[in-house]
Chain A
Amino acid sequence: MQSCSDSDRRKEEREREREAMSIAGAAGYLTRRAAQKERVRILYRRALKDTLNWAVHRHLFYQDASELREKFEANKHVEDLDAIDRLIDDAEAQFVKFQHPDPYIVPWAPGGSKFTRNPPPPEGIEIVYNYGKEE
């Protein structure tokens, strides 16, 4: 009798431990997955922009973009966290080699041609437009 209740109690403890571990584990798992998903999204965005930099003509860009999309979709159903991490690292390494040397950046953005081209004059300075009226 005693041994039965002991073993029951031990089983209950083990179950409770496993539950606690799984809740903490689930939360950790979800945060890891969320972080991975964000990395994937940002990687896809940068890869798509680079594809647009390389393939300027729109029909070529659409072909390359669908190939890129298929590469991402092929690994869509991987479940193992470490495998996913390894895939993301490999992809980022490939991406670094693939970057365009002269990417198109919107002119007013940092790195663009119009960035800080005409900074606003400092405070308190007023420009007097009196061309031709000085005399």
Chain B
Amino acid sequence: MPCIKPGSPPSPFSSPVSSLIPSLTPPARSVLQSNERERETEPSIMAAALRPAILRHLRIPAQAQSLAVDPSAPILSSFMNRIRSMSSHGDEHLTHEEVVDRVIDVVKSYPKVDPSKVTPQVHFQKDLGLDSLDTVEIVMALEEEFKLEIPDKEADKIDSCPLAIEYISNHPMAA
């Protein structure tokens, strides 16, 4: 099974920008410190001059659009987005619609199932005519789809689409 590694450090970026970012939130900070030390002799005078102007903007979380207000830093805003694009911090939770769509896709792609009969209300054994072992296989496929780990007792109880959708929507770690 592939394991998901945290994002690798970004490619080297332009030097004056690197020394301007001491106030970033902690996850990105360690990435920068190694680059900062290499660039200590770079023009820091310009950095010191621009620093208060830029720090005012950097207190806002990276996804905020107000960074674009600062005209002297188009590089800065793209750099900020690039740094945060690899962080998996604060992933948005799934919307209910997305959960429903993905669950139905998984059930439809099961070979023993007739795709036209699948609705969000379907019961695996009664409506789709599946076996209890087939239900187990579908639950495993759902676990793989949403990267969940469902305990055995709970997985035994998932018998139908609405139950599966409800369980996944209420799971805090569903991806």
Q: Which residues of the other chain, A, contact B152 by a CB distance below 8 angstroms? A: 42, 45-46
Q: With a CB–CB cut-off of 8 A, which chain A residues contact B4?
A: 107
Quick one: closest B residue to A48, CB to CB?
A: B140
**B69 at interface, CB cutoff 8 A:** no
Total interface residues in chain A, CB < 8 Å: 30
B119 contacts the other chain (CB 8 A): no
Residues of B within 8 A of A113 (CB): 3
* B25 partner residues in chain A, CB cutoff 8 A: 129
Is the Cβ of A132 less than 8 Å from the Cβ of B23? yes
Please judge, given known A-B contacts A41-B156, A44-B133, A133-B23, whether A107 and B140 are in contact too, CB under 8 Å: no
Is B149's CB within 8 Å of the partner chain A? yes
Taken together as a complex, chains A and B put the C-alpha atoms of A49 and B137 apart, in Å, by 10
Judging by beta carbons under 8 Å apart, are B140 and A72 in contact? no
Q: How far is the CA of A104 from the CA of B140 in the complex (A)?
A: 13
Most A CB contacts (10 A, CB to CB) among B4, B25, B136, B173 go to: B136
Beta-carbon contacts of A92-135 to B below 8 Å, as 1s and 0s?
00000000000011111100110000000000000001111100
Q: Is A1 an interface residue (CB 8 A)?
A: no
Say whether A10 faces chain B, with CB atoms less than 8 Å apart.
no
Cα–Cα distance between A72 and B136 once the two chains are bound (Å): 13
Interface string of A25-40 (1 = CB under 8 A from B): 0000000000001101
Q: Identify which of B132, B133, B135, B155 gathers the most chain A CB atoms within 10 Å of its CB.
A: B133
Q: How far is the CB of A3 from chain B (nearest CB, A)?
A: 54
Interface residues, chain B, with chain A CB atoms under 8 Å away: 1, 3-4, 22-26, 29, 55, 132-133, 135-137, 139-140, 147-149, 152, 155-156, 173
Interface of A with B (CB < 8 Å)?
37-38, 40-42, 44-46, 48-49, 52-53, 56, 65, 69, 72-73, 104-109, 112-113, 129-133
